[in-house]
Amino acid sequence: MRNVLFYIAGAATVGAFFTLWCAVAVQRVRKESEASKYGELCARIQKQIDETRMRISSVKMQLHIADHALDQALLQWKYEYLMKQEQWLVELMCGKIEEEKQEEKQ
């Protein structure tokens, strides 16, 4: 009888440890999934930043080449727009925009 009680207690202990291990594993997988999604988002934002910087470089070169005043004005406007877009993407990457939205809600 005593051996049966020890066996049941041991089985219950193993079951409890297994349940706790499963709970910890599920939490770890959730955290890794969130980190993975955040990493993918950061990679896409970084790609957009790189593309914007390439466009800025192209517009700068065109500004030096363009000889008409209208072309200069349009290219200057495009340059300023791309600079603002780059700044916005960098702020998005750093999380400043999300912080500002949270402050506005409060």
Looking at the domain assignment, is residue 9 inside a domain?
A: yes
**pLDDT tens digits along 39-82:** 888 888 889 989 998 988 888 888 777 777 777 788 888 889 98
Cα–Cα distance for residue pair 78/55, rounded to 1 Å:
9
Check pLDDT > 70 for residue 29: yes
Looking at the domain assignment, is residue 106 inside a domain?
A: no
**pLDDT tens digits along 84-93:** 988 888 888 7
Looking at the domain assignment, is residue 76 inside a domain?
A: yes
Cα–Cα distance for residue pair 59/17, rounded to 1 Å:
63
Looking at the domain assignment, is residue 14 inside a domain?
A: yes
How far is residue 49 CA from its own chain's centroid?
Answer: 13
Domain that holds residue 53: 2-98
Buried b (16+ CB within 10 A) or exposed e, 52-71: beebbeebeeeeeebeeeee
Looking at the domain assignment, is residue 24 inside a domain?
A: yes
- Strand residues in 51-104 grouped as ranges (E): none
Tally of domains within the chain: 1
